[in-house]
Amino acid sequence: MLIETRDLWKTYIMGMQELHALKGVNLQIEKAEYVAIMGPSGSGKSTLMNLIGCLDSPTRGEYYLNGESVSDMNDNELAKIRNKEIGFVFQTFNLLPRANSLHNVELPLIYSGIDTGTRREMASTALEQVELLEWAGHKPNELSGGQRQRVAVARALVNNPSLILADEPTGNLDTKTGLDIMKLFRRLNDRGNTLIVVTHDPEIAQFADRIIHIRDGEIEKEERRSGQVQDVH
């Protein structure tokens, strides 16, 4: 079991009011699964993603990643988990504008203290996997949206994380480019990477093997699409 949450709650205090973004979520995800978390905006799916991604801590409940209890880790331990276990892909790419593709991909490795030579090699390999090696020296503003997102995917891959977490990865891309990214995700999953895609778009969710519907901070229903591999042409 890669991910297990037990009765996960997240409560925000807005003035005098308590706002429950998550109300007791129980979730289990196996290694090498491809899962979509779907829900309308305000459903709590982003909050769930932040918790799974160790960007935030739950108000209540337990979260185990690789059997380790994450819910009572401190900031530094969470940062280490993000660095080693999780690769993020964001809707807005979140690349550093002044750094070229190679350097952007290198970033997580800098924080693991890996030496320059090894870092270059690992980053190049990751860029090769998303077919962007020849763009290594280009800065984000010299790349198309699809290319930027592929750089972000390479950055997510570079540390060989247990989990790749994508938040609306196609939200800022046109349909065709979005489909390319989804094909790339499919390939990564086929190679054994665990993928969680958070989206509000049913078409994007269809690429996953399992769809978890979330509404009002609770899991509404789950669909399994075992055995079915959708062709995208």
Partner 1 sequence: MRFGDLLRLSFEALRAHKLRTFLTVLGIVIGVTSVIAIISIVVGMNEKITSLINSMGTSTFTISKYGIEDYKSQEAYREARKRKNFKFRDALAIERDCELCEEVGAEAVTFRQLKYGSDKMNNVAIAGITSNFINMTEFEVAEGRVHSEFEQDRYAQVALIGDKIRRELYEGLDVVGRELKIGIHKYEIIGLAKPRGSMLGEDLDEFVLIPITTLLKNYGSNREIEIFIKAPSEEALAETIDQARVILRSRRHLDFQEEDDFAVTTAEEWLEFYGSVTGTIQVVAVAIPLIALVVAGIVVMNIMMVSVTERTREIGIRKSLGARKRHIMLQFLSEALMMSVFGGAIGIGLGILLAKALAGAGDLPFVISKLAILGGIFISTGVGVVFGLYPAMKGARLDPVDAMRFE
Site residues for partner 1 per CB under 8 A: 50, 53, 55-56, 75-76, 79-80, 82-84, 88, 90, 94-96, 98, 107-108, 110-113, 115-116, 155
Q: Which is nearer to partner 1, 109 or 219 (CB)?
A: 109
Instruction: Name the residue nearer to partner 1 (CB basis): 64 or 90.
Output: 90
Going along the chain, which residue ranges are E strands? Answer: 3-14, 17-29, 34-38, 60-65, 68-69, 86-89, 163-167, 194-199, 210-215, 218-224
- Whose Cβ is closer to partner 1: residue 138's or residue 225's? 138
CB of 117 to partner 1, least distance (A): 12
Q: Whole-number minimum distance, CB 132 to partner 1, in Å?
A: 18
At its nearest, how many Å lie between partner 1 and the CB of residue 50? 5
- Rounded to a whole number of angstroms, the CA Rg of the chain reads 17
DSSP characters over 58-108: -SEEEEEETTEE-TT--HHHHHHHHHHHEEEE-TT----TTS-HHHHHHHH
Residue 79 vs 180, nearer CB to partner 1: 79
Contact 71, 77 (CB under 8 A): no
Counting Cα atoms < 13 Å in the Cβ hemisphere of 109 gives 23
Pair of tokens at residue 59 = 């108000």
Complex with partner 1: residue 21 or 181, whichever CB lies closer? 21
Smallest separation, CB 17 to partner 1 (Å): 19
CB of 82 to partner 1, least distance (A): 5
